Amino acid sequence: MDWKTQLNNYIKDQSNKEFKYGRQDCFLFAIRWIEVLWKKELLDELSPKGYKSLKDGKEQIFKHLQDKKPKDFLLEFWIFCMNKWNQEEVGRLFLQSGDLVLLKVDKRTTSCIVQNGKALSTGKKGISWIDISEKNFIKAWRVDKCHQ
């Protein structure tokens, strides 16, 4: 199955799942897409026990960062992961479907997947579509190459 079909199937599967920290949050939504694409278990590699709450997730992320209070823990963690996995950073104008993008939404960093020029992330009632603008763009990576 090609990656575009995989992406469409993944989004369809996730579309009605409600937001819940540790079960269906923006980080898990994005990393599970990468797991589908790479056919690899990444959560076990990053966090053997998983996490149950935002606080627990932050504590585990801080362990990886070896920093008690980074200014933006989600941004720092994705930078850590993408560097570890040798993924290519891409600019806003070069985004394509399947890329991982971080956006500032309601003053918070949000992990999203790009599809057809929009960002998708978890919302209170399923998938949220977010416009990608110069104002809300933080960072993005092309995640089409599986790390070894």
| Residue 45 half-sphere exposure toward CB, CA atoms < 13 A | 11
Phi-psi region of 39 (alpha: psi -120 to 50; beta: other; left: phi over 0): left
Q: By C-alpha distance, which of 84, 118, 86, 80 is closest to 99?
A: 118
Within a domain: 102 = yes
Within a domain: 147 = no
Tell me the mean pLDDT per 10 residues along the chain, length 148: 88 82 78 89 65 61 61 83 90 96 92 95 85 97 78
Angle between helices 26-38 and 73-84 (to 10 degrees): 10
What pLDDT, on a 0 to 100 scale, did the predictor assign at position 2? 85
- Measure Cα distances from 127 to 65, 71, 74, 137 in Å: 29, 27, 19, 19
What pLDDT, on a 0 to 100 scale, did the predictor assign at position 123? 77
What pLDDT, on a 0 to 100 scale, did the predictor assign at position 33? 92
Within a domain: 109 = yes
Within a domain: 148 = no
What pLDDT, on a 0 to 100 scale, did the predictor assign at position 65? 59
What pLDDT, on a 0 to 100 scale, did the predictor assign at position 81? 85
Q: How far apart are CA 73 and CA 61, in angstroms?
A: 7
For the chain, what is the domain count? Answer: 1
Query: Which tokens go with 108?
Result: 């918070």
* Cα-Cα-Cα-Cα dihedral sign, residues 11, 90, 78, 101: negative
Q: By C-alpha distance, which of 17, 49, 103 is closest to 57?
A: 49
* Cα-Cα-Cα-Cα dihedral sign, residues 137, 18, 11, 30: positive
Chain centroid offset of residue 45 CA: 15
CATH code of 105's domain: 3.90.1720.10
Within a domain: 42 = yes
Please give the residue range of the domain that contains residue 119.
Answer: 3-142
Query: Which tokens go with 89?
Result: 């950073």
DSSP 145: S
